[in-house]
Amino acid sequence: MRCLPFLAVLALGVCRAQPPDDSLPATSNVMNAQYPRIHSDLRITFRVTAPGAQKVQVQPGGADSGLGKGPYDMVRDDKGVWSVTIPPAVPGFHYYWLLVDGFAANDPSSETWFGYGKPTSAVEVPEKGVDLYDAKDVPHGDVRVHWYRSKTTGLWRHAYVYTPPGYDTGRTRYPVLYLQHGAGEDETGWTRQGRANLILDNLIAAGKAIPMLVVMETGYAVKPGTVPVASTTGPVRNPNAFEQVIVDDLIPMIDATYRTLTDRSHRAMAGLSMGGQQTLQITSAHLDRFAWIGSFSAPIRNFDAKTSNNGVFADPPAFNKKVRLLWIGAGTAEEGMHQGAQTMHEALDKVGVKNVFFESQGTSHEWQTWRRDLHEFAPLLFR
């Protein structure tokens, strides 16, 4: 096999010839890029042109990635094209990058998504028979980027707002789900990586979820004059500033700008990983604002039903009366997160705090877990 010159677009540095097997280009590739390719058994072949490099590797993102641990050494041919085929991957969306002589570089064949605090390559591995996050022939909602000035930070921010099909033509008011990304990601994560808009489109079309707005914001904020916390995975922040942004700035702006139902029984918050932690923290402190709570793979350590989250679970009947849904989700392949979620679930069951424990079978600390969370969580909301 060789790369035909007119197809081997030099500017892209990508060989675009077809390999003689059953593999297909990943849907996460930039338009027309032929690699990475997914084989029918979910092995993945990566390929990159780097004639001047001494060593090129594929590095999966995260310790418990669905791509295995890596790094995987690529093999150079006589033209300087490096390739490797890795063992079958877990279905889902997996961040990765190349190590070119040790330098962490994105794969020029891949789109980028904001993860690890910067634009990062990823590969979408299809799950057989699963179409819950595909674009189907159903009405689609819009995703709106809405700019607003935060009084808390003094800066412009933008919220991503999903409006369900029919929003523009009707007069209905809608409940709102505030949905947060994880550490190192941003407000684009839930639509770009998570496909939240398509999941909602499909659920609403099937009559499985009540039409709702979904508001997605950056989970970072710094108050003027404060010293932010350094982070290993993303932008600096001070956690209380985001709490203040969402309660004092974002919710009032959304309720003033969109046709929303503004009482607490029509407002939910959920988030993944850091966003799950923020959800538990913020909803616990503001049960006057939220009646529906979703923790997707939040890091939960040393959970104590009496004292955790400022003692919000200490009076189970009072909590049960106020909170219509407390969802605790985790993937069974997640290191640490699953154990923490299960411990919280069992401790709450024991003291009589109603909660739903959701286990995503075989998936790790990755978007496939959270797509499944959202797909099962959203239908329970606002009933």
CB 24, CB 36: distance < 8 Å? no
CB 291 within 8 A of CB 322: yes
Name the minimum Å distance from CB 305 to a second copy.
35
In the bound state with a second copy, the residue whose beta carbon lies nearer, of 23 and 191, is 191
Rounded CA-CA distance 177/381 in Å is 9
What CA–CA distance (Å, rounded) separates 299 from 149? 31
Q: Determine the Cα–Cα distance for residues 32 and 67; give it in Å rounded to an integer.
A: 23
Burial category of 227 from C-beta neighbours within 10 Å (exposed 0-12, middle 13-18, buried 19 and up): exposed
Q: Identify which of 105, 118, 40 has the alpha carbon closest to the alpha carbon of residue 74.
A: 105
Smallest distance from a second copy to CB 311, Å: 33
| Residue 220, CA distances (Å) to 158, 165, 172, 215, 335 in order | 12, 30, 32, 15, 25
| Residue 2 Cβ vs a second copy, minimum distance, rounded to whole Å | 16
Minimum CB distance to a second copy smaller for 94 or for 338? 94
Nearest to 369 by CA among 64, 92, 94: 92
- How far apart are CB 111 and a second copy at their closest, in Å? 6
Closer CB to a second copy, 122 or 344, in the complex: 122
Q: How far is the CB of 344 from a second copy (least distance, A)?
A: 28
Contact positions toward a second copy, by CB under 8 A? 6-7, 9-13, 30-33, 48, 50-55, 100-106, 108-109, 111-112, 116-119, 135, 137, 140, 142-149, 156, 161, 168, 184, 191, 197, 220, 230-236, 257-258
Which residue's CB is nearer to a second copy, number 20 or number 52?
52
Q: Based on CB atoms, which residue is closest to a second copy, 108 or 379?
A: 108
Q: Which is nearer to a second copy, 168 or 288 (CB)?
A: 168
DSSP conformation letters of 351-373: HT---EEEEETT--SSHHHHHHH
Burial of 201 (0-12, 13-18, 19+ CB in 10 A): buried
Q: Least distance from C-beta 12 to a second copy, angstroms?
A: 6
